Amino acid sequence: MTQRLHGKVAIVTGAGCVGPGWGNGRAIATRFAQEGARIVAIDRSAAAMTETLSRIQDVNGEVLALEGDVTDATAVQQLMDEAQAHFGRLDILVNNVGKPIPGGITKLSEADWQAQLDINLSTMFLMCQQFVPRVQQQQEGGAIVNIASTSGIRWTGAAQIGYAAAKGGVIQFGRVMAVELAKDNIRVNTVVPGQMHTPMVEAVLAANQSQGDAKALLARRQKRIPLPFMGDGRDVANAALFLASEEARFITGTELVVDGGMSARCD
């Protein structure tokens, strides 16, 4: 059977992870490699990509690992230049970089508000500004998959207004770009993950939301999910794979919610 991304070059930002296990970026990079894509793995920490690279090697994938800060326009251009020079083409971009900072309207500082927009939304703008003209020049179409969050469409249990606003912006950013780029056969879609069990729960969220008690936080999160289990980065990766593949050739400007039914319930 032909691999679903055979011959494609896929860029995955935030391809590292804050700890062992299936973070979204790690899972996406690995899953895409399983399906034949040559991977450009980008993260601001090379060390954070060690397990990612090992998992890609385990599935006999080909990967170029690049360390860089995708909040910086100059760095983004350099990363894209290096990726294009190495593989000779670019086909798929997965904008996965993101991080929440807790705080509602009276608690979040102006600096943290700006930081949330920078890392969760402006990174996508900068990456797409560099990716799109290169794919347009190839004249063979392409796919962009942005990773948002149910925080961008619902209250999800904690006040994090900067993160929520930025992730809401990601969704509309994708819709507008999809219409603009449709003539070039560049499809743009968004995955909207819910409260997944990724390494970030233990490494970051437990301290912010549960006084360091990861078990209690996981229990609260599970109560919001109608399905009797919590998804992880592999579920996000499978959604991104579908949207990046030819199976989704007539899908653009839309969102795929991956949350176990959480955003569909009203209690």
pLDDT surpassing 70 at residue 1 = no
Which residues are part of the catalytic machinery? Answer: 163
For 202-258, write each residue's pLDDT tens digit.
Answer: 877 767 777 888 888 888 899 999 999 999 999 999 999 999 999 999 999 999 999
Q: Is residue 56 domain-resident?
A: yes
- Among 225, 229, 199, 224, smallest CA distance to 214 is for 199
| In the chain, % of residues over pLDDT 90 | 88
Q: Is residue 3 domain-resident?
A: no
User: b/e per residue, 56-90, with b = 16+ CB within 10 A?
Assistant: beeeebebbbbbbbbbeeebbeebbeebbeebebb
The residue assigned the tokens 């971009």 is 93
For 102-149, write each residue's pLDDT tens digit.
Answer: 999 999 999 999 999 999 999 999 999 999 999 999 999 999 999 999
- Among 35, 31, 34, smallest CA distance to 15 is for 31
Q: Is residue 64 domain-resident?
A: yes
Whole-angstrom distance, CA of residue 262 vs CA of residue 142 = 31
Total tally of structural domains belonging to the chain:
1
For 142-173, write each residue's pLDDT tens digit.
Answer: 999 999 999 999 999 889 999 999 999 999 99
Which residue segment(s) compose the domain that 167 sits in?
9-197+232-249
Q: What is the CATH number of the domain that holds 186?
A: 3.40.50.720
Q: Is residue 204 domain-resident?
A: no
Q: Is residue 117 domain-resident?
A: yes
Question: Do residues 167 and 98 touch, judged by C-beta distance below 8 A?
Answer: yes
Which pLDDT band holds residue 74 (cuts at 50, 70, 90)? Answer: very high
Question: Do residues 69 and 119 touch, judged by C-beta distance below 8 A?
Answer: no
Q: Is residue 162 domain-resident?
A: yes
Q: Is residue 87 domain-resident?
A: yes
Q: Is residue 150 domain-resident?
A: yes
